[in-house]
Amino acid sequence: MTPLTFQQNILAWFDQYGRKDLPWQQNFTATKDEKPYRVWLSEIMLQQTQVATATPYFNTFIEKFPDMTSLANAPVDEVLHLWSGLGYYARARNLHKTAQMIAERESFPDTLDELLELPGIGLSTAGAILSIAFNKSQPILDGNVKRVLTRFKAIAGHPSNSAVNKELWALSRQLTPIARVADYTQAIMDLGATLCTRSKPACHICPLKTACLARLGGNVASFPTPKSAKALPIKQLVFLLLTVRRFFCLLPQI
DNA sequence: AAAGCGTGGAT
DNA sequence: TATCCAAGCTT
């Protein structure tokens, strides 16, 4: 299956079944930088966090801080308070710091280098912002994409392994289209979140089923390769064995 | 390179 | 109940 076919299959599936009504995908006007603001805010909240968990927090933040300026001008304590319960609190501090940095600018940064300088934005989040908010062709590699790609190409080894990670990035880059990249990025995440799930994936209705190597090999459940059980630390102990010799029994009784 | 960071959901 | 893991980034 060529990259083009891969993209066409995923996009056709997205048009019919993709998620288009998530809170950060709607209810905003075309006001300048309102879209990247929402995409950025949602992407930060969604790091290692499920959609259902992040959603109420996103709605609260949008209500309290409808734009970058209001977030930048808020006391960091208020941001932290509204973040409480979401976890990974460094994200909230970085969010606030980044808001202040971007508020100083003319517009929301739209290049990879600029985005990577901002605290809390790594390669994948930068790719998500560029593709979803600006429709610029840039790959992502989040948990969903890792799951889809390790299965599609039957890539063994835990994704945290640097060689595996590098291979996955190369593959993601190779498969990311030039056109309709915003839809594509959302599509491959939707695929991973709704069909190509960790357990009980719905392979029978997957748009990639005819070429998915894991499925063709009947191996879907073994991808991504589970993290090998951490070797238990080996402790060496010296035992002092005390034995009661018969000889003690011969001592005079007191 | 590997570990730390938070909480809630799924098995 | 215990374990693994989730729209990762930072040090």
CATH of residue A10: 1.10.340.30
Of A20, A3, A1, A2, give the one whose Cα is nearest residue A187. A20
pLDDT tens, position by position, A58-97: 999 999 999 999 999 999 999 999 999 999 999 999 999 9
User: Is strand C less than 7 A from the beta carbon of A90?
Assistant: yes
Report the greatest alpha carbon distance in chain A: 101
A167 carries an active-site annotation: no
Give distance CA A183 / C1' B2 (Å). Answer: 35
Residue nearest to nucleotide B7 (CA to C1'): A87
Q: Cβ of A140: how many Cβ atoms within 10 Å?
A: 25
Domain contains A14: yes
pLDDT in tens, A177-203: 999 999 999 999 999 999 999 999 999
CA dihedral (A159, A165, A167, A172) in degrees, to 10, reads 90
Is A233 inside any structural domain? no
Whole-number distance in Å between A83 CA and C2 C1' = 28
Question: Which nucleotide is closest to the Cα of A132 by its C1'?
Answer: C7
Q: What is the pTM of this model?
A: 0.90
Q: Is the pLDDT of residue A236 over 50?
A: no
Q: What residue spans of A18-89 are helical by DSSP H?
A: 34-45, 51-64, 68-73, 76-83
A172 touches strand C (CB under 7 A): no
- Rounded alpha-carbon distances, angstroms, from residue A52 to A40, A145, A185: 17, 19, 19
Residue A243 falls within a domain, yes or no?
no
Can you give the distance from the CA of residue A216 to the C1' of nucleotide C9 in angstroms?
Answer: 35
CA quadruple A76, A95, A193, A59: dihedral sign? positive
Model confidence at A228, pLDDT cuts 50, 70, 90, reads low
Find the distance separating the first CA and the last CA of chain A, reported in whole Å: 92
The CA distance from A221 to A226, in Å, is 10
- Cβ of A231 near strand C (under 7 Å)? The reply is no
Closest nucleotide to A186 by C1' from CA: C7
The total domain count for chain A is: 1
User: Which tokens is A42 given?
Assistant: 């949602």
Q: Residue A27's domain spans which residues? A: 3-222
CA distance A71 to A200: 40
